[in-house]
Amino acid sequence: MKISVVGTGYVGLVTGTCLAEVGMEVTCVDVNKEKIEGLKKGIMPIYEPGLEEMVIRNYRRERLMFTTNLAESIDGAEVVFIAVGTPPGEDGSADLKYVLAVADEIGRTMKNYLVVVTKSTVPVGTAKKVKKTVADALAARGVDIPFDVASNPEFLKEGAAIDDFMRPDRIVVGTESDRAQEMLARLYKPFTLNGHPVIFMDIPSAEMTKYAANAMLATRISFMNDIANLCELAGADVNMVRKGIGSDPRIGSKFLYSGIGYGGSCFPKDVKALIKTGKELGYELRILEAVEEVNEIQKERMFEKIMRHFKGDIKGRRFAIWGLSFKPNTDDMREAPSLVIIDKLLKQGAQVIAYDPVAMNEAKKHYLGDTIEYAKDEYDALADADALILVTEWTVFRAPSFKVIKKLLKEPVIFDGRNIYDRRELRAMGFTYYGVGVV
């Protein structure tokens, strides 16, 4: 099959590359020339484990092409994916200007039947707008070329995106014609060999599924953070509570980890967007409003513990931060809890030295000049620091030498934002330990 994928961001690049990997002929399109030239040379615009090798391999085999020319990419193609960004507008809604600009260009240049698939996370009703935009552009040309629209939300997790695409739990596809459905069934057949289904449905339901999935996951996290905060007051241990409730199959054990709040490019944006959709349709999503509020508060709670420990004055104190990205295995800093904690420390006159295995370059875009220092490895960050703050649970931070940590820190104090350390062991070694949802 010949496929065009527009947008070489996270979703587009992973989608295009994985489709090429199973043997399809894929052209990835982007308006950014530099990105396209870089990709041809094997330079990835994002960090994702396994992606670089797969891109290079398929590019060499000429199954994966890169271009800035959208018209050329859809000439003879059967399916075009729109996977461009939908940045949050000021009011929290997804900005569709890029999606609709692509739809317009498709309409202006297409020569043959196409299934136009929205892959970006877009509000309910977007496929309809895409359809109208393509149809208007065709009408302006005075031609009548048949096409269909479809909605195919992605469920990729950063850091595990390739695996999620190659072995999906499920694929959700919204269509309104048999022709489009058959085409997408054929396209996804190689990915359903593990027995996991393509779930076909109507377009609005597919669009809603994506938001409902992310909103549910965000809700689990905020719920657990709320319970964790209560555990601290009640003298309970949220880790035990998590195990206790997670063994009920109706609840399940995944996604119940309390911490310093969720971040990333999806949960914060999607929760906001769904609340907004609710408002537009005259409905208030009360649970999600609380989910968001709890998350904002959670990002600040560790900072408050730090302030309490240092009796309200951290001016001139030095803090070592382990982990900057919003989660491990990515360099993504979008909505990362580290940003909130570091900003608050800096505002109080503290110094910050950070180490992250891959996100330091991304962080430099946020912290200009020498607002914070960067360490060359995790131990290098600790020298003369007043405390260690574990923000992102990268595997390299999981089993460090606490003897060395104790020697390097001015005071043996650890703020563990992800509950990855054994507080009893640390306290026995003489550390002052703060976790989340434990006392």
3-class DSSP string for 378-430: CCCCCCCCCEEEECCCCHHHCCCCHHHHHHHCCCCEEEECCCCCCHHHHHHCC
* Residue whose tokens read 């503290």: 350
Map the footprint of ligand UDX across residues 115-144, applying CB under 6 A. Answer: none
Contacts of 139 (CB under 8 A, 6+ apart): none
257 binds ligand UDX, rule: CB under 6 A: yes
Encoded one letter per residue, x for contact with ligand UDX by CB under 6 A and - for no contact, window 166-205 reads ----------------------------------------
Q: Under a CB-based contact definition with an 8 Å cutoff, are residues 26 and 5 in contact?
A: yes
Active-site residue flag, 266 = yes
- Contact status: 372 vs ligand UDX (CB under 6 A): no
- DSSP designation for 191: G
**Residue 219 annotated in ligand binding:** no
Per-position x/- string for 262-281, each x denoting binding to ligand UDX as judged by CB under 6 A, each - no binding: xxx-xx--------------
Report the DSSP pairing between strands 171-175 and 147-151: antiparallel
Count, residues in the chain: 439
406 in a known ligand binding site:
no
**Dist. CA 297–CA 218, nearest whole Å:** 14
The site string for ligand UDX over 317-356 (x = CB under 6 A, - otherwise) reads ---------xx-----------------------------
Tell me: is residue 263 an annotated ligand-binding position: yes
For ligand UDX, the closer of residues 119 and 276 by Cβ is: 119
Segment 206 to 225, residues that bind ligand UDX, using CB under 6 A = 214, 217, 221
Nearer to ligand UDX, 224 or 382 (CB): 224
- The answer to whether the annotation marks 345 as part of a ligand binding site is no
Please report whether residue 437 would count as binding ligand UDX according to CB under 6 A: no
Nearest to 155 by CA among 166, 141, 165: 165
Hey, what amino acid is at 239?
A: N
Residue closer to ligand UDX (CB basis): 153 or 412: 153
Q: Are 262 and 297 in contact (CB under 8 A)?
A: no
- With CB under 6 A as the contact rule, the residue among 158, 331, 356, 378 that binds ligand UDX is 158
Q: Is 156 annotated as a binding residue?
A: yes
- Judged by CB under 6 A, the stretch of 127-135, 256-264, 287-295, 314-322 that binds ligand UDX is 256-264
Cα maximum dimension of the chain: 79
395 is in an annotated binding site: no
Q: How far is the CB of 238 from ligand UDX (least distance, A)?
A: 11
Number of residues interacting with ligand UDX: please give it, by CB under 6 A.
19
Of 37-45, 154-162, 283-291, 405-413, which segment contacts ligand UDX by CB under 6 A?
A: 154-162
Query: What end-to-end distance do the CA atoms of the chain give, in Å?
Result: 58
Q: How far is the CB of 70 from ligand UDX (least distance, A)?
A: 25
For ligand UDX, which is the closer residue by CB, 300 or 380? 300
Closer CB to ligand UDX, 148 or 154, in the complex: 154
Nearer to ligand UDX, 73 or 222 (CB): 222
> Is 30 labelled as part of a ligand binding site?
yes
Interaction between residue 362 and ligand UDX (CB under 6 A): no
Contact status, residue 402 vs residue 332, Cβ threshold 8 Å: no
Other residues' Cβ atoms within 10 Å of the Cβ of residue 194: 9
In the three-class reduction of DSSP (H, G, I as helix; E, B as strand; rest coil), residue 250 is classed as coil
Q: Which residues, including other chains, have CB under 8 Å from residue 325's CB and lie 6 or more apart? A: 331, 332, 333, 336, 338, 356, 358, 359, 362, 392
Residue 39 and residue 32 in contact, taking contact as beta carbons nearer than 8 Å: no
Residues in CB range of 182: below 8 A, 6 or more apart: none
Member of 98, 113, 155, 200 binding ligand UDX (CB under 6 A): 155
154 binds ligand UDX (CB under 6 A): yes
β-strands 351-355, 413-416 pairing: unpaired
Residue 83 interacting with ligand UDX (CB under 6 A) = no
Task: Say which residue the tokens 């104190």 belong to.
Answer: 317
Q: At closest approach, how far in Å is the CB of 194 from ligand UDX? A: 18
Question: Could you give the C-alpha distances from 248 to 240, 241, 245, 252, in angstroms and in order?
Answer: 14, 12, 6, 6
| Residue list, annotated binding site for NAD(+) | 30, 35, 86, 121, 158, 269, 334
Residues near ligand UDX (CB under 6 A): 154-158, 214, 217, 221, 255-257, 259, 262-264, 266-267, 326-327
| Residue list, annotated binding site for substrate | 155-158, 210, 255-259, 263, 327
Q: Which residues are catalytic?
A: 266
| Residue list, annotated binding site | 30, 35, 86, 121, 155-158, 210, 255-259, 263, 269, 327, 334
